[in-house]
Amino acid sequence: MNKAVLHRVEVPMKAPFTTAHGAIGSREVIIVELEDDKGRRGYGEIAAFSSPFYTEETVTTAWHIAKDFLLPSLNEKDATRIFRTVQGHPMAKAGIEQALFDLKAKREGRSLSEYIGGTRKEVAAGGVISLSGDPKKELRTLKQAGFQRAKVKVERGREKEQLQALREEDASFPLMIDGNGAYESPDELLPLDEFKLLMIEQPFRSGDFRKHRHLQKKMNTPICLDESIRSFEDAVQAMEFKACRILNVKLSRVGGWSEALQIHDRAVNEDMPLWCGGMVETGIGKAHSLALASLPSFTLPGDLSGSDRYFEKDIIKDPISLEGGFIRVPEGPGIGVEPDFGYMESVTKDRWFQRY
């Protein structure tokens, strides 16, 4: 008899992480644990946030959908079809599918990276500069740690001022900005070409391919889509519509491994560079992201960092470490990391399980 367990955890953060939508002082996520009849366990992470600032999903809605709809009808051999009977909720689906992929790779005695066709043993890491600290100081910290690019969480109307300060600190370090869908007009962003940014990520609201295309036609700076890409079909539309030159892929946002792998294969055909976005995940979600970033089309530094970047203590036994600007892709079976059950128990707010 197989078993599914949901762990609702809340992990304290070193310092609040601030974006245009607000600050996060602790990270609440759902860890999905699937155990087969041989006692092997696969782990995934439902990385929805506590409030619906990023997408409409929250930890509470994802808990409900996973517990009451997805897991009760789970069939490993036909999970994709079962997921299609529930509209939306990609993060809930992604966490469950992550656990399935981890379990399948472990059954074959292979790392998850090898199981999905990854080619890199280590991946380049990019850091994030939030709105809560001193941007210049944060940039120096990122550079000293070896990060290979910085993503700046800008405040609308002050982006030129913020970027000018960072360019005074370092005129050539690779910088990008994250619009988080806060902008309304392409004219607001055209002056930013002068800063020679690596990219501008998701300046307009999710789903507005028309406005992104209009901006990309006018700007030399590559536009990257994030929140707009919630499925393989969204990615195809963005490519065919020429709404961007780069795609950010997050397993949680696109609904899991099946969708992400389809996006990757299409990007290979379209010669579209990809990078792996971050969700301020724990080590479980980060290990899945590292496997994703090991695929051939992920050519740009991702939002990947060590376990100590955001948390005083991660929920995995052996921390993920940044070394010389790179993070090694775990080589052990499956995701290659194991939960620290003692610590995870101490930060668990709720737990649910069922046999299936």
Active-site residues: which are they?
A: 153, 250
Torsion of CA 90, 278, 306, 343, to 10 degrees: -40
In 3D, which of 272, 264, 304 has the Cα closest to residue 199? Answer: 272
Residue identified by tokens 């607000």 is 22
Instruction: Judge contact between 279 and 47, C-beta under 8 A.
Output: yes
For tokens 């389809």, what's the residue? 262
How many other β-carbons are positioned within 10 Å of the β-carbon of residue 272?
19
Pairing state between β 326-328 and 122-124: antiparallel
Distance CA(226)–CA(205), nearest Å, equals 10
Contact 307, 78 (CB under 8 A): no
Q: 134: Cβ–Cβ under 8 A, 6 or more apart, which residues?
A: none
In contact, 314 and 11? CB cutoff 8 Å: yes
Tokens encoding 166: 């960072």
CB 71 within 8 Å of CB 63: no
DSSP state of 193: G
Pairing of strands 175-178, 122-124: unpaired
* Partners of residue 326 on adjacent β-strands: 124, 323
Collapsed DSSP state (helix, strand, coil) of residue 217: helix
